[in-house]
Every structure is written in structure tokens, then in C-alpha cells.
Amino acid sequence: MRTLPKRLKKGDTVGVIAPSSPPDLENLKKALPFLEELGLKVKMGNSVEAKNGYLAGTDEERLADLHAMFEDPEVAGIICAGGGYGAARITDRVDFGMIKENPKVFWGYSDITFLHTAIGHYAELVTFHGPMLASDVGKEEFHERSARMFGQLFAPFELHYDEGISTLIPVSRGVAQGELVGGNLSLLRSGIGTKFEIDTKDKILLIEAVNREPDDVDEMLNQLRLARKFEEVAGVVIGDFKNSDPKRPDESLSLDHVFDHYFKDLGVPVVKGFKIGHCEPHFSVPLGVMAKLDATEMTLTILPGVE
């Protein structure tokens, strides 16, 4: 089992970093009062305002921020400002031993998926798949339910997802328990063949994506299939696939057809329709804790992510 980070409490300081692309600084500024409302103080990473093309500073600067926030005893948790691209460029130089010695809340999604997978495997730490400051919190459409999901960082409680939140559709029936892993599908695919490859054996796999047409999703799922990632998976949680409708429907398979092709005969529970990913509301989840997926009752239950 992975280490649970200590819960946050009012008065704690959280570090804000940008391991990937430059965040929208205006949106980031708008998001900071939300953290203050949670009773948190903010320490900004040195590279958050830096720009190096499509990266938030050099690889060295972004890596230094990540390390500094984990090493800083005054920082109780780390929240990513945004995603984009770039986290994977620094992952092979991350000091996972240091992170393992300094376990704390680490929160983000999208491109941060690559770090989630690596930290979970090599630092054995539970991390959190949730909305980011500039990408989500600082926008007008940030949903009240998304905001409430930050409460799981302050007290250990089970998360329960049912059809009261969104319509859930079974692709394959069954009930399974396992450690919840995964995140953004394109980042899971990009880890295949590397030392940061996702381990899906006996796990419940979460997948989500944005701006990917059905043929792109098909390609990524097929690579996971060929890498044998579905052979011993316990179950699959299909999150939000925003902006994934084909631009030319008459020349494309539907996304539902693609999911059916890979999952309908998998023999384990697979459920689609979860509001997890690039969506509002965004149901935040801890990665690396035990979960139960019930494709008959249409429920997902997840154990607490903090101690």
C-alpha cells in the first residue's frame, strides 16, 4: 500500500508549481482567493511565471521547483497551476527517494498524470487527480462541486460516486476492487515502454482525455491493449472525454463504438460517464488507494487519500 500524505489544516502553506506549460497568470491570480478561503497560505514556485516556449521555464527550473516544494518543511502540500506539456521531460531526474522521505499532498491532472504514475510507483505516495489553479479554479465556470472536492485534503473520508452526480453507463458488467490508478489517456500511452509505464495488474484504471477524436482514442487504447495493460486489469473507470466528437461523423466510428470494441468483452466492470477530467464539475480522486467499482449498482467508492 502507498503512503497516505498528512491531511491539510487551516493555516498550512501550499506550494504552487508549474511542471508543464506556462499557466494563464490572470486565471492563476483569480484562483488564489479560493485557497485563502480554504484557510491556506500560498508559496509560489520560482518558475510559475517563467516562459520557455511551450514550457514554464527550463527543465532545470521546473524540476528545482518540484524538489524545493517537497523538501521545504513549511510546505504541507503542492498544487499544480496547470498542465499542457512538459512534466515527462523532467520525470527521469526526479528524486523519488527524497519525495518518499517527505510525503505530502500532490494535486493536479492532465499532463501531471505522468508525475502521478511515477511518484506512485517510485515514491509509493498517494497523489490526487483534481482541478488545477489556472486551468480550472480561476475560471468563471469553476463548479461548486469541484470546489467541495478539495475538502478531502482536510479530513479522511470515503468518496462515493453514483448516478446522482452524472448518468453512468455500463460497458461491461461486474464488481471489482483494486487500487485506483491512471489519469489522462495520452500520458498513460506515452509512458508505455519506459520505466514509468502504468501498472494495471489488479488495479482499477481511470482514463480521461480532451480534444481527442475517436480515431486518436482508438490508437491510444490499442497501444495499451498491445502492451497487455487490459489483460489483468480489475476494472476501468471511463472519465470525461471532452471535445472528442468526430469532426466528420460520417467518416468516423463513434467514441462509444471504440469503448465497446476494447471493453465490452473484457470480463471486468467497465463504466463510462464519470465527471472526472477536463470537465465541470470535476470529481477529484486520490490515486493509489483502494476503490470498488460496481457496474451493476453504478457506483464507485474510494477510500480516503489522507491520514
The residues that are catalytic are: 110, 208, 278
| Residue 118: closest CA among 89, 85, 96 | 96
In sequence order, the 6+-apart residues with CB closer than 8 A to the CB of 223 are: 189, 192
In angstroms, the CA 181 to CA 196 distance is 13
Q: What residues does 75 pair with on adjacent strands?
A: 13
CA angle 32, 9, 25 (to 5 degrees): 15
Task: Indicate the SS3 state at residue 177.
Answer: strand
| Residue 177: closest CA among 291, 266, 44, 29 | 291
Do the beta carbons of residue 204 and residue 181 sit within 8 Å?
yes
In angstroms, the CA 305 to CA 179 distance is 12
Instruction: Spell out where 212-298 has E strands.
Output: 235-242, 270-272, 285-287, 290-294
Cis peptide before 281 (omega within 30 of 0): yes
Do the beta carbons of residue 121 and residue 199 sit within 8 Å?
yes
In angstroms, the CA 88 to CA 258 distance is 27
